[in-house]
Amino acid sequence: MRNIMRLFIGSVLLGLLAGCSVSSSDPPTLEPPSTYPILISEVMAGKQGNNNYEFIELYNPGVNLVDLQGWSLWYRLATSDADLPVYSWEMRTLIPPHGHYLLVRSGEDLGLPADAFFTQGLNTSGGGLTLRNASVSTADSLGWGVAPEGFLEGVATPKLQNDYSLERKPGGEAGNKSDTDNNETDFLLQSSPYPQNTGSAATPALDVPFQIELSLPVSLNPGERFPLTLTLRNNSAQSISNLNVELPIPSEFTFIESPSGVTLSEGVAAWTISEIPPSAEEITQITLEVPWTYFTTAFRSYYAHSSTDGTYAFGEPYWISVSTGSVPIGVARSLIGSVATIEGIATMYTGGYYSGGGNVKFYLEDDSGGVQIYVPTGEGALDVPIGATVQARGVMTLYRGAIELIPDTPEDVEVLALGEAPEAIPVSLQLAVHDNEDLPGRLVEVVGTASRIEEFSYSYEIDLVDDEGNLLSLYVDKLTEMTTEALEEGRLYQASGIMEIRDGRMQLNPRQQDDLVELFPPVVQISIDAPNTIHSGEIITITINASNHTSEAIEDLRIWAPHNLEGALFVDALDEGEVSADILKWIIPELPGNGGTTSVSYRVQAQAFDGTIVIDGYGAQAPSTVEILVGEPKRIFLGSYVPIWAIQGSGDRSPYKLENVTTTGAVIGVFPDMAGFWIQNTTPDQDSETSEGLFISTGELSIPVALGDRVEVGGKIREVSAQTQLEIFSADDITVSGSVTALPAAFLLDPPADKDESALYFETLEGMLVAVDEPALVVGPTTRFGESALVLAKHEISRVMRGEPNGLLIMVDDGSSEEHLDRSTLPYAVSTGDQITGLEGPLAFTYGQYKIEPNHLPGTISEPYEIGSVPSVEPPMFSMMTWNVENLFDILDPHPSSPPRPRKAKYELDLTKVANTLLAAGAPTIVGLQEVENIGIMEDLAAHELLSPFNYLPVLIEGTDSRGIDVAYLVRADRAQILDVQQFVAPEGLTSRPPLLIKVQLDMGDENRVLYVLNNHFTSLAGGEAATEPRRAAQSAWNVEIIDRLHAADPDAHVVVLGDLNSFYNSLPIDVLRESGLRHAFELLPGEERYTYIYQGVSQTLDHILVSPSIWAALEEVHVLHTNADFAMPDPDDDSPIRKSDHDPVIVIIDGLRIE
């Protein structure tokens, strides 16, 4: 509801009303402020149960107006020499003769309006106030209790008490004129405080025969025009003449209209009323307009002055708060940090864009703009469809460059009505790329040619380009259930979706499948439809289709097709076709433009019993110069099946994509946990560029097939995650016709080293039975997805580092889609350095990788290993560690959707594994951790029996990560002191896990050192390295800015930046830190040891420690404790350091005395 405080006798100007006699007037001349002293007249510092119930009152003992502009009020405690600002008057502010001015503590209500509010708290036991005039000279002072020097006059008053005030004598209706320059003499402790404002009656009373009142509407909304009414009332039995009125208009309002004679100068409305009869009143009404925003302001210092007898009548301050009511979305986007209410049409539904566990987001749009609504805890509580009219209230926030409204609760979002989906705004690709002011948040439509179509774990990305080279990226969230399998690079598309800024880049976010529509160039397109298979003697219909994508109709279009087909006999021509020699011809009198279509057909009868019928040589001709594009030849297979090699084709996509086919083959792998099985052609085509294997997707159907079954399968060809597969919809789509005597011989894998050559090598084998029949070395351990990476042992490669050729990698899966929490659910588990033999199974392509799905457990040979360790050190040596502990969550709510909430025993096991890791790391002096849920976990960790001897102190400040993971520290209190802790929230939502700074003093006897340590967890690589690197580079730049601030305050500051930076050793984000002067600890390590993480068999660095040159000179040792990245998922009861995380800890040992 509108919170408008109506205070009588005072307020703004708005005007026009019948019956007033008005003329313009000049404001009265004010005497110099020094002529009439202003006194501190009453102070209160709290009441029982509310220490904030405070006010400070000023008094004008003179008979003229006093302007406080340029004055200031200060407070000082007896225990400090710091002057604390209470209030400063920067604008014209008048105190009436014998009148008061009331300052009230913010948030408090004294029962009468405040003239202004202050935030500085007052101490009852002692303190002092000093009022300084515009010349910065002391006008008055008041000290009480133990009063500070210079903030009192004479002797201080007794201390203040709750429920009491100090009031200047004589007090009450007699006024506050006593001024002997002695606080003890001039003030009394009052049990009945008596606050007064500028609208209160003069004390002592003055004979003022008129009064002034202000009134406004009860409620105001943003953008509303309203009447402000000022009433002057004659309370005497005689006429009053020549009243000059002044009404300052708050700067937020726009002056719209007033009666003649009212002038507006420098924000003050002024006019003269020539005469008011006895007991009558004059009303002036002015029209003002509320801006499209929210604010709180007051009408103050308004008065009427009689030029006849010099008397004044002031009105009370009139506070008004415009805090509700909808504002245009375009206006709300400018109110960053403020609460706003908006109303618009939903252009995006809830649940289609990822927003973190338990949260939802959607988009609203009106004529002025569009904006994202991000609703924490909204999942399951809020359902917004496209086209709904919605009202939402929340804080306007900037996150990763995007503006969003965040409601406090889901109840702050209300669906008002359902409706039709709005139309997208057509914009050029050039405008979409460059207009980051008007387009973000809006539903737009662009046209461009697809230059890139790429799949990631949670999304697809598409780049559209135009003829001028403008490129716009589309982000297709997989939560929308959209697919890009029908799209192809090089084709023209119309794309609709929400335009948004993402990490400084404009990006289009489609919402549903029909947001992506293929467009065609201005040509006539000729294509052919015919069955994929035909039996001998069967008659089929062949159809030639013509589509006119030009803007004009085409007359006399001639279409032709071959008459004689090898393996088929011509039957007849349909649609008035004519036979001419070996050609069939049709003449189309008119083919409409803009997508007009027509079709002509003829029939043939199969004569052969096997082989194929190829229809080629069809086409069209028009009298005009229009371009005609003719499709590919059509192949019809004689018999019941399309062979697998034809389905796979020679490219990376099936030529039968989204077509219904029937094929046959032998079952070479059955994997219910992957919802399907593989078949392979037993009569290959001998073409090395085509695969003979195919995945059959059964979905939730239970299909009883076994290895060696010969099956006939009918369904739709799909390209799901770039894997060609045949999707069935019923058990009747599969027929087991027998079994084969032996499975096809498995292809023995030995891929080339070059990555691109390796991809082509595996493409020709997709879906086929493959094997590794010689020893292979594990270079990537079994992950939580059951995947591991191998290299044939004969290549003598034990590790593949990032940047090295990685085509030799052979990926192996576990034959399921399950995510494993430990090795108890894995069929087998291998670690780096183990050997595997006897692998055989179909070659799948999932999540961007070719991988073997084993038909049986392979043989494994594991070498015993020893857990590494780092030596512990004593002062002046100290050690520092960074480690991503991976999902260290407790057993309490809230908890993200993934991973599952741990049981108490699992939580305690996790703490023990972390503790054992810290012991193996030598109990470092400073430990920086990432992916910790809360400070309670850090406290539990510090109190763990294995770590309690080291007196670790936990540090964690919550960030805003959607999963609730934060960065944290443990600092050994026996070796160091924490001097300061700060979280540096980045601008514009750059990171939800802000850098956490600790200032630490290292205790080394007589010579201590102070370090500044910044702990970071940069944005994930999940969205692709290229797409997410600019954000990480910006996060590095934010660290550099923090370091610059530290150096500004302490030029000799010794700084450490550490954490999971999700950036490779040689990458832009790390280079940004290097260019600031930091040195990387890994410079002391040989290249083969610079890894903390293994992804798909490639060892790489994601975790870093960079230090100032002063610390670099003192570095003694650098260690990577390889207890995680090289190891498979752990045993569920293993409390050793092995595989608590997927990241390895990094530890540095430093000689503290060498830090200079």
On the question of pLDDT at 10 being above 70, the answer is no
Percent of the chain at pLDDT exceeding 70: 97
- On the CB side of 747, CA atoms within 13 Å amount to 20
What tens digit of pLDDT does each residue of 788-809 get?
A: 999 999 999 999 999 999 999 9
What tens digit of pLDDT does each residue of 187-229 get?
A: 999 999 999 999 999 999 999 999 999 999 878 999 999 999 9
Task: Taking residues 370-382, report their average pLDDT.
Answer: 96
991 or 169: which leads in pLDDT: 169
* Angle (deg, nearest 10), helices 904-920 and 935-942: 60
In angstroms, rounded to a whole number, what is the distance separating the alpha carbons of residues 843 and 933?
39
- On the CB side of 485, CA atoms within 13 Å amount to 21
On the question of pLDDT at 738 being above 50, the answer is yes
**Residue 833 tokens, joined:** 């350095």
Q: 22-26+206-322 belongs to which CATH class?
A: mainly beta
Question: Could you tell me the pLDDT band of residue 29, with boundaries at 50, 70 and 90?
Answer: very low
pLDDT of residue 295: 87
Task: Taking residues 7-23, report their average pLDDT.
Answer: 31
On the question of pLDDT at 378 being above 90, the answer is yes
What tens digit of pLDDT does each residue of 1046-1088 get?
A: 999 999 999 999 999 999 999 999 999 999 999 999 999 999 9
Altogether, the residues listed in the chain come to a count of 1156
Percent of the chain at pLDDT exceeding 90: 85
In angstroms, rounded to a whole number, what is the distance separating the alpha carbons of residues 917 and 1130?
14
- Tell me which CATH homologous superfamily contains domain 33-190: Lamin Tail domain (2.60.40.1260)
In this structure, are residues 523 and 450 in contact, taking their beta carbons and an 8 Å threshold?
no
Of 124-128, 420-424, 447-451, 1026-1030, the one with minimum mean pLDDT is 1026-1030
Three-class secondary structure assignment of 1089-1140: HCCCEEECCEEECCEEEEECHHHHCCEEEEEECCCCCCCCCCCCCCCCCCCC
Matching residue, tokens 């539904």: 349
Architecture of the domain defined by 425-519:
Beta Barrel (2.40)
Architecture of the domain defined by 877-1154:
4-Layer Sandwich (3.60)
Question: Could you tell me the pLDDT band of residue 36, with boundaries at 50, 70 and 90?
Answer: low
For the CA atoms of 707, 708, 710, 716, the dihedral, rounded to the nearest 10 degrees, stands at: 40
Question: Could you tell me the pLDDT band of residue 8, with boundaries at 50, 70 and 90?
Answer: very low
DSSP string, 618-632: -EEE-SS---EEE--
H helices, E strands: number in the chain? 10, 79
85 or 893: which leads in pLDDT: 85
On the question of pLDDT at 14 being above 70, the answer is no
Average pLDDT of every residue of the chain: 93
> How many Cβ atoms are within 10 Å of 498's Cβ, its own excluded?
28
Q: Do domains 22-26+206-322 and 877-1154 have the same CATH topology?
A: no
Question: Could you tell me the pLDDT band of residue 4, with boundaries at 50, 70 and 90?
Answer: very low
What tens digit of pLDDT does each residue of 414-436 get?
A: 999 999 989 999 999 999 998 98
For the CA atoms of 329, 332, 333, 339, the dihedral, rounded to the nearest 10 degrees, stands at: -140
- Residue 950: DSSP 8-state: G
Domain 747-861 is found in CATH 2.60.40: no
Quickly list H helices, 973-1050: 1025-1049
What tens digit of pLDDT does each residue of 813-872 get?
A: 999 999 999 999 999 999 999 999 999 999 999 888 999 999 999 999 998 888 889 999
Fold assignment, 329-417: OB fold (Dihydrolipoamide Acetyltransferase, E2P) (2.40.50)
On the question of pLDDT at 689 being above 90, the answer is no
Q: Note the pTM of the prediction, 2 decimals.
A: 0.72
pLDDT of residue 1060: 98
Of 13-17, 86-90, 464-468, the one with minimum mean pLDDT is 13-17
- Tell me which CATH homologous superfamily contains domain 640-739: Nucleic acid-binding proteins (2.40.50.140)
On the question of pLDDT at 327 being above 70, the answer is yes
Three-class secondary structure assignment of 386-454: CCCEEEEEEEEEEECCEEEEECCCHHHEEEEECCCCCCCEECCHHHHHHCCCCCCCCEEEEEEEEEEEE
What tens digit of pLDDT does each residue of 869-892 get?
A: 999 999 999 999 999 999 999 999
pLDDT of residue 2: 29
Domain 524-634 sits in CATH at 2.60.40.290
pLDDT of residue 27: 47
Which residues does 437 contact at the CB level (< 8 Å), separation at least 6?
Answer: none
- Residue 877: DSSP 8-state: E
pLDDT of residue 1027: 78
* Angle (deg, nearest 10), helices 1068-1075 and 1025-1049: 20
Each domain of the chain, given as residue ranges in start order, spans 22-26+206-322, 33-190, 329-417, 425-519, 524-634, 640-739, 747-861, 877-1154
Task: Taking residues 578-582, report their average pLDDT.
Answer: 87
